[in-house]
């Protein structure tokens, strides 16, 4: 059995029956997995056990269903599983940060193995690995203002010029856990082809040790040095070798080794120290100061190991011409920079294409920076991957970019374990399409420094690993929902008409429908129950009430009937008179066995059939014709071919968009799925608006 059969036939399956139906259990497990309530892999086995029960219980609790520990699978619960949008559900369930932290903590390896799960996950485990070669292309995409728009926020300011420090807001990151000691988040938006930004921070200008996080700085500096002297040479066409040697390694190969920790051909620390040898330590420090404007930073240290080559040279691969030499050896000191410095450098790398000349990395050319971008896409730490997966964003994103660098270690001086992480995240978010709006470009840079002191290095690392994953997830969640950034004036701050529709994609049409009076909520708890399936008799009542709202259309529906309209609809039933009137006017039909089955959920296809008949009825009254004139092109649904209602669904999609994809996402109509109260209200309102528009035009 499948979940859709439960909704179609209004079945009730007890837990005892469920345990014997492995097909149904597997269907439930797959749906729970999509909602983030059930693991993948071998546990998707169709066997009902504690993990499945726990997932169902969690779903009922989060959706505030009547029974938080269901003893049966009925049409309502089956409908929730079938119709709940996975991404919106995951965004909602991720609001509880403590539960989120426990989720990330639960996947940590055995305490004896050490390394944090996400800190050492590696690029080979990333679902975004195949996208890396496309990152430079994605970072050049501009919102066209029609299909894709950028963030609207009146508090955005022009990206700062070289040496200019931006205004950093210090209160917006108060939601971060106390283990996060330093943080800086830069939220970007492309306005008229130029990058604008808002900066948020917690101790963002404090200069501290950021461990290997700072290795991105000498990497980018080398590009700037090369292109300042040789602007037409792509660093990807160069090799690095020992002074006077032969052969060599490509710059990209070494950036990947530095970032991914693959130890080929040397350690990350050795390669980073070697990159620093192309400048004097004081010169590199001064270069960084001139870019970020932070005059108090120090950046003259190595990374615990000697340079892989003490006297490297950068040569043109095709000719062997030496382009850059090692700088004279000078004394080293420490590395003490701010979260802001790292956020600034990473944003200048990823947003280079959107920045004006006075804000760009000096001398750097895009074709050379592409090599750095691809290399930084291989970071061993995968915190952004964890956030995207947990929030379900992979379903609704296009052109994702994740470039990052992590650092970690236990400080003897501070007697604590620390993890640092800088990442640029960019993608096109298709979620706004659900409410008829263009997709939106999301782009941001995050820098975090977290610390824990528990006198146990392994425990510190694993708990801090889970904490960094939690905070990165929360930052991205807030950016996507525009709780962090966004235009305050564009958000609906008016309290919702019902407590359970605040975040519903159909909130506006629901409220309009209730105001018109053809559907109502539940007064006892001030809810609308948007995800509850609409029954066949409720559909009839709603649509006949909708008919009465059409101006100049006289509809007289008797308050009662003396005969049973169907064998299973007695005259005394609350809906009998409405069902009888609809039957007599050929707006509805029963089943071949003569039954009407008033309590059965109505399917999305059945709803379209009756909506079409209602529209035709109104049109017949006004202009004596029943053919519905299309107002738009029919939607190319992918799943209605061969369905008995295919032509009607297509017709109703062209009639004011009455028929639309499930949850307004993708290209599936899902004709067999139950029609939920939220979509039923929205579809009916669209039908009414189209009729009013059409007849208004006729008059």
pLDDT given at position 495: 86
Q: Is residue 227 in some structural domain? A: yes
Identify whether the C-beta of residue 426 lies closer than 8 Å to the C-beta of residue 400: yes
User: What are the pLDDT digits (tens) for 79-117?
Assistant: 889 988 899 899 989 999 999 999 999 999 876 566 799
Phi-psi region of 12 (alpha: psi -120 to 50; beta: other; left: phi over 0): beta
pLDDT given at position 489: 58
pLDDT given at position 70: 85
How many whole angstroms separate alpha carbon 283 and alpha carbon 164?
A: 19
Higher pLDDT, 66 or 588: 588
Residues 70 and 120 in one domain: no
The b-or-e profile of 295-331 (16+ CB within 10 A means b, else e) is: eebbbbbbbeeebbbeebbbbeeeeeeebbebbeeee
Q: Is residue 50 in some structural domain? A: yes
Percentage, residues of the chain above pLDDT 90: 80
Q: Is residue 89 in some structural domain? A: no
The b-or-e profile of 241-264 (16+ CB within 10 A means b, else e) is: bbeeeeebbbbbbbbbbbbbbbee
Q: Which of 293-297, 528-532, 666-670 has the highest mean pLDDT?
A: 293-297
Structure token pair of residue 583: 């039957």
Instruction: Answer with the one of 34, 69, 84 that is the final residue of a domain.
Output: 84
Residues 298 and 401 in one domain: yes
Average pLDDT over residues 634-658: 95
First to last CA, the chain: 52
Q: How many other C-beta atoms are found inside a 10 Å radius of the C-beta of residue 356?
A: 12
DSSP codes of every residue in 150-190:
PPP-TT-EEPPPTTPPPPEESSTTTTS-TTEEEEEEEEEEE
| 346 pLDDT above the threshold of 50 | yes
Confidence of residue 457 (pLDDT cuts 50, 70, 90): confident
Residues 386 and 469 in one domain: yes
Q: Residue 405 is part of a domain; what is its CATH number?
A: 3.40.710.10
User: What are the pLDDT digits (tens) for 355-394?
Assistant: 999 999 999 999 999 999 999 999 999 999 999 999 999 9
Considering only CA atoms, which of 398, 448, 488 is closest in space to residue 151?
488
Residues 225 and 315 in one domain: yes
pLDDT given at position 622: 77
Structure token pair of residue 178: 């106390």
How many whole angstroms separate alpha carbon 398 and alpha carbon 538?
A: 39
Residues 384 and 246 in one domain: yes
Residues 67 and 141 in one domain: no
Residues 533 and 408 in one domain: no
Residues 465 and 512 in one domain: no
Question: Domain range holding 12?
Answer: 3-84
How many whole angstroms separate alpha carbon 188 and alpha carbon 472?
A: 17
Q: Is residue 96 in some structural domain? A: no
What are the residues facing 324 on neighbouring strands? Answer: 314
Q: Is residue 492 in some structural domain? A: no
pLDDT given at position 699: 44
| 669 pLDDT above the threshold of 70 | yes
Identify whether the C-beta of residue 597 lies closer than 8 Å to the C-beta of residue 7: no
| 71 pLDDT above the threshold of 90 | no
User: What are the pLDDT digits (tens) for 202-248?
Assistant: 999 999 999 999 999 999 999 999 999 999 999 999 999 999 899 99
Considering only CA atoms, which of 509, 582, 508 is closest in space to residue 545?
582
Q: Is 409 helix (H, G, I), strand (E, B) or coil?
A: strand
User: What are the pLDDT digits (tens) for 23-64?
Assistant: 999 999 999 999 999 988 888 999 999 999 999 998 888 877
Confidence of residue 296 (pLDDT cuts 50, 70, 90): very high
Average pLDDT over residues 593-608: 93
Per-chain mean pLDDT for the chain: 93
pLDDT given at position 114: 64
How many domains does the chain fold into? 3
Q: Is residue 498 in some structural domain? A: no
Q: Is residue 490 in some structural domain? A: no
Residues 392 and 272 in one domain: yes
Which range is least confidently modeled, 297-311, 393-407, 684-698?
A: 684-698
Rg (the chain; Cα; Å): 30
User: What are the pLDDT digits (tens) for 239-269?
Assistant: 999 998 999 999 999 999 999 999 999 999 9
Q: Which of 273-282, 413-422, 479-488 has the highest mean pLDDT?
A: 273-282
Average pLDDT over residues 634-640: 93
Instruction: Answer with the one of 66, 84, 102 that is the final residue of a domain.
Output: 84
| 459 pLDDT above the threshold of 90 | no
User: What are the pLDDT digits (tens) for 443-455?
Assistant: 999 999 999 988 7
User: What are the pLDDT digits (tens) for 141-192?
Assistant: 999 999 999 999 999 999 999 999 999 999 999 999 999 999 999 999 999 8
Residues 60 and 165 in one domain: no
Residue 310: CA atoms inside 13 Å, Cβ hemisphere, count? Answer: 5
| 15 pLDDT above the threshold of 60 | yes
Q: Is residue 310 in some structural domain? A: yes
| 287 pLDDT above the threshold of 50 | yes
Residues 637 and 600 in one domain: yes
Residues 80 and 134 in one domain: no
pLDDT given at position 113: 62
């Amino acid at each position: 059995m499948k979940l859709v059969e439960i909704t179609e036939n209004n079945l009730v399956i007890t837990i005892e029956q469920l345990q014997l139906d492995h097909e149904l259990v597997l269907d439930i497990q797959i749906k729970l997995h999509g909602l983030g309530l059930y693991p993948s892999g071998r546990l998707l086995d169709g066997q009902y056990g504690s993990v499945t029960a726990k997932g169902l219980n969690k779903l009922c609790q989060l959706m505030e269903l009547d029974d938080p520990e269901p003893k049966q699978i009925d049409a309502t619960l089956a409908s929730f599983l079938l119709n709940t949008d996975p991404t919106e559900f995951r965004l909602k369930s991720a609001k509880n940060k403590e539960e989120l932290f426990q989720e990330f903590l639960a996947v940590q390896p055995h305490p004896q193995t050490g390394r944090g799960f996400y800190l050492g996950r590696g690029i080979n485990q990333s679902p975004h690995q195949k996208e890396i070669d496309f990152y430079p292309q994605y970072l050049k995409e501009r919102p066209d203002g029609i299909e894709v728009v950028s963030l609207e926020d009146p508090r955005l300011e022009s990206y700062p010029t070289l040496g200019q420090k931006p205004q950093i807001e210090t209160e917006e990151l108060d939601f971060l856990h106390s283990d996060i000691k330093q943080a800086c988040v830069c939220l970007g938006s492309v306005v008229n082809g130029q990058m604008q930004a808002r900066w948020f921070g917690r101790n963002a200008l404090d200069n501290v040790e950021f461990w290997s996080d700072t290795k991105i700085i000498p990497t980018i500096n080398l590009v700037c040095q090369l292109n300042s002297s040789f602007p037409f040479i792509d660093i990807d066409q160069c090799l690095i070798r020992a002074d006077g040697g032969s052969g060599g390694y490509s710059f990209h190969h070494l950036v990947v080794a530095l970032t991914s920790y693959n130890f080929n051909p040397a350690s990350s620390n050795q390669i980073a120290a070697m990159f620093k040898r192309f400048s004097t330590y004081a010169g590199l420090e001064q270069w960084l100061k001139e870019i970020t404007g932070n005059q108090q930073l120090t950046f003259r240290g190595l990374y615990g190991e000697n340079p892989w080559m003490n006297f490297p040279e950068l040569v043109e691969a095709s000719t062997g011409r030496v382009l850059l030499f090692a700088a004279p050896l000078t004394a080293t000191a420490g590395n003490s920079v701010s979260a802001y410095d790292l956020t600034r450098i990473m944003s200048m790398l990823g947003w280079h294409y959107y920045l004006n000349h006075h804000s760009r990395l000096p001398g750097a050319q895009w074709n050379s920076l592409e090599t750095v971008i691809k290399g930084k896409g291989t970071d061993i730490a995968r915190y952004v991957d964890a956030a995207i997966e947990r929030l379900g964003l992979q379903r609704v994103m296009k052109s994702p970019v994740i470039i990052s660098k992590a650092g970690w270690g236990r400080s003897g001086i501070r007697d604590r374990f620390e993890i640092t992480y800088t990442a640029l995240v960019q993608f096109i978010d298709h979620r706004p399409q659900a409410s008829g709006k263009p997709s939106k470009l999301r782009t941001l840079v995050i820098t975090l420094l977290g610390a824990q002191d528990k006198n146990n290095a392994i425990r510190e690392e694993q708990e801090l690993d889970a904490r960094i994953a939690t905070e990165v997830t929360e930052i991205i969640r807030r950016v996507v929902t525009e709780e962090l950034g966004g235009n305050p004036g564009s958000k609906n701050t008016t309290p919702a008409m019902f407590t359970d529709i605040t975040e519903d994609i159909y909130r506006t049409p629901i409220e309009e429908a209730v105001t018109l009076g053809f559907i109502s909520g539940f007064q006892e708890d001030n809810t609308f129950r948007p995800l509850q399936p609409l029954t066949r008799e409720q559909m009839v009542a709603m649509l006949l009430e909708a008919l009465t709202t059409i101006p100049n259309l006289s509809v007289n529906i008797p308050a009662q009937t003396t005969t049973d309209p169907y064998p299973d609809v007695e005259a005394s039933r609350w809906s009998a008179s409405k069902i009888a009137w609809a039957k007599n006017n050929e707006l509805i039909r029963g089943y071949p066995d003569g039954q009407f089955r008033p309590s059965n959920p109505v399917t999305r296809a059945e709803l379209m059939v009756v909506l079409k008949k209602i529209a035709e009825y109104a049109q017949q009254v006004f202009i004596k014709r029943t053919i519905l004139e299309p107002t738009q092109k029919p939607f190319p649904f992918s799943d209605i071919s061969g369905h008995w209602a295919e032509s009607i669904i297509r017709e109703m999609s062209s009639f004011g968009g009455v028929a639309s994809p499930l949850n307004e996402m993708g290209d599936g109509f899902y004709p067999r799925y139950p029609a939920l109260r939220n979509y039923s209200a929205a579809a009916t309102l669209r039908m009414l608006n189209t009729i009013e528009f059409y007849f208004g035009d006729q008059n």
